[in-house]
């Protein structure tokens, strides 16, 4: 199927509305019957990799029908296969026409839209401000901030007339904190915290909740790239984190699922930091030796 904006959509067989159940993944219980997403229809950006891909599995395991979007078509096909088949849409979230077309097409195919998770994002160059050029800086803003806004707006165009819906954005501890060499990524994530509050206030009276999860460092392909390039030192991060390690993408996905669920029915405008205590720590140096 070809959609406006040159996007491609693939339709795979999907067994939706599965009963929620206890799920075993990699030897760990990853989701429980604590709450259910049975009957919910969810669209996840950045669904081809990392947090988005893992969240798709968790939402599906909790009973939601899921559709994935990403710029990475191979990754989308692989994730669809891993989920046993689901709707996938190629989409660059920074492109307004594509964002509008894909959300409308996904809602059409799913029969509505109850949950939108905006996990598409890019890291910046990790460079000092004085060395920065504007084009890569702008690209980070276009994907992380403009892309998130466009997908929120397109989702709300479906959810507001329905009178209900839940949107979950992805911020970062890089947003509220002041981090040298993160002058594109950090501001893009800080703006997502602000955007989440503003949209929550606009759409709350119309039944749509908007929240964000603010992860600390998470073991995903995004971070693997930074570690490989020597731009991140895992040991230093572990030592600075009260819980002493990076997060797994499952730990972030479970928080996203909670905020998307009716168990969070009175929560809106919040950014839930899922960071192993990173934001709580105010000491100097390693947390264990302070
Ligand atoms: N990994 C971490 O430590 C960490 C920490 C805080 C926040 N985050 C945020 O979590 C989100 C997911 O990150 P991740 O770690 O899973 O990274 P990831 O690289 O594994 O996944 C990001 C996905 O976004 C897709 N994407 C990139 N640009 C896109 C665009 N223009 N349109 C559509 N899709 C696009 C990529 O193809 C990829 O599949 C991002 O917003 C990231 O900033 C990650």
Q: Report phi then psi at 9, rounded to 5.
A: -125, 140
Residue 10 has pLDDT above 80, yes or no: no
* Catalytic-role residue among 185, 217, 266, 281: 185
Mean pLDDT of the chain: 90
Residue 18 has pLDDT above 60, yes or no: no
Kindly list the protein residues whose Cβ atom lies closer than 6 A to any atom of ligand 1: 45-46, 48-52, 70-72, 75, 91-94, 119-122, 143, 147, 170, 172, 215, 217-218, 220-223
CB neighbourhood size of 129 (10 A): 11
Write the CATH number for 261. Answer: 3.40.50.720
Residue 39 has pLDDT above 50, yes or no: yes
Residue 171 has pLDDT above 90, yes or no: yes
- Which DSSP string corresponds to 215-268? E--B-SHHHHHHHHTTS--HHHHHHHSTT-SPBPHHHHHHHHHHHHSGGGTT--
Q: Kindly state whether residue 85 falls inside one of the protein's structural domains.
A: yes
**What's the whole-number mean pLDDT along residues 28-56?**
87
Residue 164: both structure tokens together? 């209900």
Q: Which region holds residue 17: left if phi is over 0, alpha if psi is between -120 and 50, else beta?
A: left
pLDDT range class, residue 230, cuts 50, 70, 90: confident
Residue 173 has pLDDT above 80, yes or no: yes
Q: What is the dihedral of CA 14, 15, 16, 21, to 10 degrees?
A: -130
Q: Kindly state whether residue 193 falls inside one of the protein's structural domains.
A: yes
Out of 30-39, 69-78, 249-258, pick the least confident.
30-39
Among protein residues, the one with the nearest Cα to ligand 1's atom 23 is 46
For ligand 1, mutation pick of 106, 121, 167 (most atoms within 8 Å of CB):
121
**What's the whole-number mean pLDDT along residues 10-27?**
42
Higher-confidence residue of 178 and 10: namely 178
**Domain span including residue 157:** 37-217+246-274
Q: What is the pTM of this model?
A: 0.91
**What's the whole-number mean pLDDT along residues 58-64?**
97
Atom number of ligand 1 nearest to Cα 215: 6
CB neighbourhood size of 74 (10 A): 9
Out of 22-26, 42-46, 207-211, 264-268, pick the least confident.
22-26
Q: Kindly state whether residue 290 falls inside one of the protein's structural domains.
A: no
**What's the whole-number mean pLDDT along residues 11-40?**
55
pLDDT at residue 34 in the model? 73
pLDDT at residue 222 in the model? 87
Q: Kindly state whether residue 235 falls inside one of the protein's structural domains.
A: no
Higher-confidence residue of 7 and 73: namely 73
**What's the whole-number mean pLDDT along residues 1-30?**
44
pLDDT at residue 41 in the model? 98
User: Which residues, other chains included, contact 237 with Cβ-Cβ below 8 Å and sequence gap of 6+?
Assistant: 217, 246
Count of domains observed in the chain: 1
pLDDT at residue 188 in the model? 98
pLDDT at residue 3 in the model? 52
pLDDT range class, residue 9, cuts 50, 70, 90: low
Q: Given the DSSP bridges, would you call strands 28-31 and 271-274 parallel, antiparallel or unpaired?
A: unpaired
pLDDT at residue 6 in the model? 45
CB 150 within 8 A of CB 96: yes
pLDDT at residue 290 in the model? 75
Residue 27 has pLDDT above 50, yes or no: no
185 catalytic residue (yes or no): yes
Q: Kindly state whether residue 173 falls inside one of the protein's structural domains.
A: yes
């Amino acid at each position: 199927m070809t959609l406006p904006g040159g996007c491609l959509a693939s339709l795979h067989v999907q067994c939706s509305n599965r009963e929620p159940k206890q799920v075993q993944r990699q030897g760990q219980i990853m989701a429980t019957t604590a709450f259910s997403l049975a009957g919910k229809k969810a669209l996840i950006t950045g669904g081809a990799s990392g947090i988005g891909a893992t969240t798709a599995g968790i939402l599906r395991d909790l009973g939601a029908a899921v559709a994935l979007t990403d710029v990475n078509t191979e990754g989308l096909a692989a994730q669809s296969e891993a989920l046993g088949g689901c709707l996938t849409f190629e989409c660059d979230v920074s492109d307004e026409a594509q964002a509008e077309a894909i959300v409308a097409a996904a809602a059409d195919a799913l029969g509505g839209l109850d949950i939108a998770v905006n996990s598409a994002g890019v890291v910046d160059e990790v460079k000092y401000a004085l060395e920065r050029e504007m084009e890569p800086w702008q690209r980070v803003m276009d994907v992380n901030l403009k892309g998130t806004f466009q997908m929120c707006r397109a989702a709300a165009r479906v959810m507001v007339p329905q009178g209900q819906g839940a949107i979950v954005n992805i911020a970062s501890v890089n947003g509220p904190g002041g981090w040298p060499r993160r002058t594109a990524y950090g501001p893009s994530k800080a703006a997502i915290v602000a955007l989440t509050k503003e949209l929550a206030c606009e759409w709350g009276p119309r039944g749509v909740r908007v929240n964000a999860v603010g992860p600390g460092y998470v073991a995903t392909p995004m971070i693997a790239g930074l570690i490989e390039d020597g731009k991140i030192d895992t040991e230093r991060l572990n030592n600075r984190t009260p819980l002493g390690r990076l997060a797994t993408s499952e730990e972030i996905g479970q928080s996203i699922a909670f905020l998307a669920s009716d168990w969070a029915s009175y929560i809106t405008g919040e950014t839930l930091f899922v960071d192993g205590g990173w934001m709580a720590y105010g000491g100097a140096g390693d947390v264990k030796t302070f």
